[in-house]
Amino acid sequence: MAGVHEDFGEKIGGAKKDLWKDRGLYADDLEAMNEREAEKFVKKDNVWKKPDYAAMLEEGIPLGVVYFIKKARDGLNASPQYYRTDDTPEKRTARQKEYIKTVRELQTVLSDVRTVEDAMRAYDRFFVDNGYLEKVQGWGSGIHYRATKKGQDNPVITNKLSNTMLIRSAEYFERNFTQKAKKEQFCVSKEQKIPKGYAIHFNDGKHTYSKNEDWKPGTYYVTKGYSILRTNFETKEAALKWVQELAKGRNKNGKIRFVPPQLAHVKRTGPDYRNGVEITGQHYLDTFGFRGGEFGNWMNQNDRQTSLNMGFEALKDLASALKISDRDIAYQGTLAIAFGARGSGNAAAHYEPLRTVINLTKMHGAGSLAHEWWHGLDDYLGTKMGAKGMLSEQPRLYAPFQKLIDTMKYKPETPEQAAKRTEAQTERTRKNAASWLDSSVLASLKRYGNEEQMETYAVLREAFLSGEPGSVGQISAFKKNVTGRVIPKSERERLEIFERMLSGCRRRKLRRLDGRKLIFTVIRYAWEKNVKKTAVIGTAMWK
């Protein structure tokens, strides 16, 4: 073995072992961040960790007060807001520090709120005591608040935050916080929560939506809107379990996550690039020009050696497959690599654009290198082309990349597909047109017309649905003859639009259309974004 393996090359920084922990961000933490990291990490949830509202209730803090704390925190912008004049890195950093300071000020005030009276005093403690508002004596209207220059210049101080925290009376608090918290099932456990849109009621035998001989008094029933879904539950728990299962079944629309197969027994069959040599970090620096490399603290020396050897061979294979030089692998020396140093959860591997580093996890890194390398290339090209992020998110900036995206997403439509699509569109138009026509004339025709006249209407209706020009006028005249009234102008105009659409469908000849059709609609991967799509397809093309 080639000795002890430690981090090599330039210090990458930003790894989990180097980041701030559960205490939350302070302004001083920005000194250790680059611009992209600050843009990503200066968020409300990173400054003021989301409180444990359920624990507050267990401490005895009233429901409405806990809900007030939540709504006040929600009133803060999720991230710093910038004015148009914040056009330099220094000004944006200053705005980020201001954001952190203001969030911390509100956190300090709300941490002391334990009663309704505390909540009512919180407005002055935050806005007035910190100099964002001042109290002004009005002309006969009592005291009111006026924004100071400090408050006007701070984008964290918003009307939303002010309106949320201003409590006019105890009754106002009860109505807008305590009662709303109950209605929204605030802090109700997932197991006890009634799905949104549904309700559970008790049938006392006196007040029900409708009479039903089978409906037993003293039972529970489930509604959605004005519809009764099911009755006669012996207990509220039984009704809750039923409606939860119902909602769960209706909401099943999950996506299958793309995870490369785990390579439990990796056996190399390609060229022997190492010639029996144990690879070190220096090989990565010299051969590929990596900026630096890291190892996770929990990787022992055997793990590190195996990762170095396999990663080296994989990168050589990748360069060969792409027909590029080994030195091009690291994007002109801007890329870093990490082995088990920056992963979390069950991620197989990931690319970090903030630090331009590929991380291969200890347990699930195998088979992921090319995929993550593509993400890095996507980011590198985005930087070169002036995109704010991956080039695949703004492919229009580079025509060849846009062509690549189009090639992967679309394919020419065949005559058979065109015919099927046209037929479906026509049928859909006919169905909508028929529904609109019947709603406009059918009820009055049934009321005043006889059987023979209804047969005449059926003929006129079919002519309309076939796109025959002038059919709407004929039906309107027929309606007047039967009922004494024509079709109202607004409805007639809508029907004439359908008439033109149906006429166009009738004249349309089957031909190969220029339109393009998505080819990924039947593939159940979470590939809504070009970033994931290009990496998956790009990797497949290299195999």
What would the 3-class secondary structure string for 194-241 be? CCCCEEEEEECCCCCCCCCCCCCCCEEEEEECCEEEEEEECCHHHHHH
pLDDT for residue 173: 94
Which residues are CB-neighbours of 384 under 8 A, at least 6 positions away?
A: none
pLDDT of amino acid 524: 32
Q: What confidence score (pLDDT) does residue 23 get?
A: 79
Least confident of 206-220, 294-308, 443-457: 206-220
Cα–Cα distance measured from residue 29 to residue 97, given in angstroms and rounded to the nearest whole number: 10
The four Cα atoms 99, 102, 103, 108 give a dihedral, to 10 degrees, of: 160
Residue 407 binned pLDDT confidence (cut-offs 50, 70, 90) = confident
Res. 8: pLDDT tops 90? no
DSSP 8-state symbol, 125: I
Structure tokens at 103: 């969030």
Beta bridge partners, 219, equal 203
Instruction: Write the single-letter amino acid at 370.
Output: A
pLDDT of residue 532: 63
Which whole-number Å values give the CA distances from 231 to 122, 211, 212, in the listed order? 46, 12, 10
Distances (CA, A) of 500 to 421, 431, 442, 466, 471: 19, 15, 21, 10, 10
Residue 424: pLDDT band by 50, 70, 90 thresholds?
confident
pLDDT at 141 exceeding the cut of 70: no
- What Å distances lie between residue 166 and 104, 170, 305, 343, 508, CA to CA? 19, 12, 62, 44, 63
CA distance 487 to 498: 15
Report in angstroms the alpha-carbon separations of 387 from 57, 209, 381, 384, 450. Answer: 47, 58, 8, 8, 70
Taking residues 459-484, report their average pLDDT: 91
Helix, strand, coil abundance in the chain, percent, nearest 5 = 50, 10, 40
pLDDT of amino acid 365: 54
Judging by DSSP bridges, how do beta strands 357-360 and 336-339 pair with one another? Answer: parallel
Q: Give the helix ranges, DSSP H, for 385-450.
A: 399-409, 415-448
State the number of CA atoms in the 13 A half-sphere of 108 facing the CB.
Answer: 11
pLDDT for res 318: 93
Instruction: Say what the pLDDT of residue 509 is.
Output: 47
Mean pLDDT of 268-274: 88
Dig out the tokens for 418 from the structure.
């065109």
Q: Output the pTM of the full model.
A: 0.50
How high is the pLDDT of residue 123? 94
d(CA 362, CA 310): 12
Please give the distance of CA 203 from its chain centroid, rounded to a whole number.
Answer: 40
Give the mean pLDDT of 208-236: 79
Among 18-22, 360-364, 478-482, the minimum mean pLDDT is found in 18-22
Strand partners, 221: 201
